[in-house]
Amino acid sequence: MSSDLWSFSLALYARPGVEQACLHLQSAGVNVCLLLCGAWLDQRGVACNDQRLLQLRSLIKPWDADVVKPLRALRTQWKSAATSDAELHSLREQVKALELEAERHLLLRLERAAQDWPQHEVSDQSAWLEGVAVNVTPSVRDALHELRVAVTGT
């Protein structure tokens, strides 16, 4: 897999079942950028601990609340009306592109925060995914498992 978080995320998201799993997890309140970062850190063998999780969550919170979520809400709000309005459809696609760009910037911030963390410390490739997706329901656990399989192959 790719060494940078953005390329890793694109490659992972393109694997069968991952997009649906991520959308399901997102609808359950899991931050997908944090989840993708966790998968990337798992793949790199970076040890997961409470301090690192807190650092990443603190970094995500303002950007997600002030930038990503408002763009997502606008895109979602326009979804049905855009099916019958070509101009609105075009604007919605621009908002969608902005949302993706905002997520790319968030992933870059996460990568910078974790760039100095030692790699190859652990071989348990699920600690980050478990740490990121706490308090999940059984159906969400299935989506998390789908993502884990895509990352680790097990």
Question: Residue 51: exposed, middle, or buried by beta-carbon count in 10 A (0-12, 13-18, 19+)?
Answer: exposed
* pLDDT (tens digit per residue) in 96-119: 999 999 999 999 999 999 999 999
Are 24 and 133 spatial neighbours (Cβ–Cβ below 8 Å)? no
Q: Does residue 7 surpass a pLDDT of 60?
A: yes
Give the global pTM: 0.88
Quote the tokens at residue 41: 């850190």
Q: Please, which pLDDT band fits residue 75 given cuts at 50, 70 and 90?
A: very high
